[in-house]
Amino acid sequence: MVTKDKRKINEEIQSKILEVLSIKDMHLAEISKGLNISSACVSKHVRILEDANLVERNILGRSHVISLINKHESKESDNKNLSELELYIIERRFLV
């Protein structure tokens, strides 16, 4: 069972990933270095964000480039994406 503190940390990491991706598309390693967390941890959270249809992964050889879905839409859309993340996290809480 995931504790409330761990959920909060997970949500913060996912929010930070979305924040850095709002600036530009990034390789997993870039996100890892920028947030000072392991590549395995970043990969896990990117998979969660992919399941929520908030980011997409483009594989170029051995390199994985992550980008926001609908990144080029208006700011209202960006706010909608964050709301979708919050809803996804709330849904996950009730499924655990």
Domains in the chain: ranges and CATH: 4-95 (1.10.10.10)
pLDDT digits (tens, 9 = 90+) for 2-47: 677 888 888 899 999 999 998 899 999 999 999 999 999 999 999 9
Would the pTM count as exceeding 0.75? Answer: no
Burial of 81 (C-beta count, 10 Å sphere; 0-12/13-18/19+): buried
Measured CA to CA, the distance from residue 42 to residue 29 in angstroms comes to 9
Q: Which residues pair with 58 in a beta bridge?
A: 65
pLDDT of residue 3: 77
- Strands (DSSP E) contained in the chain are 26-27, 55-60, 63-68
